[in-house]
Amino acid sequence: MFTPEGPTLRELAVQAFSSTMRGYDLLAPKFDLTPYRTPDRVLEAVADAVRPLGPFDRGLDVCCGTGAGVGVLRGLCRERVTGVDFSAGMLDAARSAHLGSAEGPAVDWVRADALALPFTRTFDLALSFGAFGHFLPAERPRLFGQVYEALRPGGRFVFPVGAPPAVGSRAYWSLLGFDAAMRVRNALWRPPFVMYYRTFPLAGVVDDLVRTGFTVRLLPLDVFGRRPDGSPRVRLVAASRE
Ligand SMILES: C[S@@+](CC[C@H](N)C(=O)[O-])C[C@H]1O[C@@H](n2cnc3c(N)ncnc32)[C@H](O)[C@@H]1O
C-alpha cells in the first residue's frame, strides 16, 4: 500500500493528530505516493460513464486534493475547470502536478471550504472523489446544497460510491476498526481529524440529494464487477439540478 518514498509512520501519526486541514497540508508533498489518492482505474471508469452525459463546458472538482478529478474534468470539459480544496498544501501540490500540462482547458485552483463554496450557477459538471468521509452525516445536506448552488440549471453532480463490504469480511472489520479508532481519537483529542469510512451509505446519500433538489440516477460501473447477489460493486451517482 505505502511505498518507501511515501510518508513514514511517524509522519502519518503527526498528521493524524492534527486537524483535517493541517493534516492534509502536512501530507500534501507525499500524498500522490499514498493509496489515498484516487486510483487511475477509478478516474477512468468515472470519465467513461460521465462522457455520454455531456457535453460540458465548466467543471468543478470538489475537495480536489492534488487534482485527480481535475484531470478527469480536463478531458470532459470544453471551457474551464476549477479545483477547490481547503488545504493550501494540497492546492500547491495540485498546481505543481498540473503545471506544464497543456491538455484540456485552463484550471483555476480555489482555496475554500466545501461547506461554503464561493460559486453561484457557474458549472455544468461537478464531481468529487475520496472526500466524503471528511463530512459528518449532519453536514451532508449543507455540502450537497453548496454544490447545487454552484451548478447551473441542468448541471450534474457525479461521484462513485462503492458497495459496503460483506458483513464479517476482513474489509468489514478493518473499516469498522478504523472508524472506531477515529471516534476514540476524536473524543480524546482536539482538534478533531474527521475521517470515517462508514458514514456515507448510498440510501441516505440519495435521500439527502433528493431533499436538496437533485434528480438522482445510479449507473453501475461494470468494470469493477458485481457482488454475489448481482448488485454492482461500484456505482456512479449522477445527480442533476433541473
Ligand atoms: C483523501 S483527499 C482526496 C483528494 C482527491 N479528491 C483524490 O481523490 O485524490 C481528501 C481531500 O478533501 C479535502 N477536504 C476535506 N474536507 C474539506 C472541506 N470541508 N472543504 C474543502 N476541502 C476539504 C482535503 O484537504 C483533501 O485534499
Rg over CA atoms, the chain: 17
Pocket perturbation via mutation, ligand 1, pick of 42, 60, 61, 63 by most ligand atoms within 8 A of CB: 63
Q: What is the pLDDT of residue 8?
A: 85
Q: How far does the centroid of ligand 1 lie from the alpha carbon of residue 170, in Å?
A: 26
Query: Could you tell me how far CA 16 lies from the centroid of its own chain?
Result: 19
Question: What residues line ligand 1, using a CB cutoff of 6 Å?
Answer: 20, 24, 36-38, 63-65, 68-69, 85-87, 90, 113-115, 129-131, 134
> Can the peptide bond before residue 232 be classed as cis, meaning omega within 30 degrees of 0?
no
Shortest-distance Cα residue to atom 13 of ligand 1: 63
Question: What pLDDT is attached to residue 205?
Answer: 98
Pairing of β 77-85 and β 151-162: unpaired
* Rounded alpha-carbon distances, angstroms, from residue 98 to 103, 114, 126: 9, 21, 19
**Cα 148 from Cα 214, distance rounded (Å):** 8
The predicted model scores a pTM of 0.95
Q: What is the DSSP letter of 5?
A: T
Question: Could you tell me the distance, in angstroms and rounded to a whole number, from the CA of residue 65 to the centre of ligand 1?
Answer: 5
Q: Whose CA is nearest to atom 25 of ligand 1?
A: 87
Q: What is d(CA 183, CA 39) in angstroms, rounded to the nearest whole number?
A: 27
- Residue from 134, 159, 193 whose mutation best tests the ligand 1 pocket (most atoms within 8 A of CB): 134
Omega of the bond leading into 192 within 30 degrees of 0 (cis): no
Residue nearest to atom 4 of ligand 1 (CA): 65
Mean pLDDT by 10 residues, the chain (242 residues): 75 83 94 95 98 97 98 97 97 92 88 98 98 97 98 98 95 95 92 91 97 98 96 98 93
Tell me, what's the pLDDT at 7? 81
**Spatial distance between the Cα atoms of 161 and 200, rounded to a whole number of angstroms:** 9
**Cα-to-centroid distance, 90 and ligand 1 (Å):** 8
pLDDT the model gives residue 2? 62
**Position in ligand 1 atom list of the atom nearest CA 131:** 10
Phi-psi region of 208 (alpha: psi -120 to 50; beta: other; left: phi over 0): alpha
Q: What is the pLDDT of residue 1?
A: 57
Q: What is the pLDDT of residue 207?
A: 98
Per-residue pLDDT, 3: 72
The confidence score (pLDDT) of residue 106 equals: 92
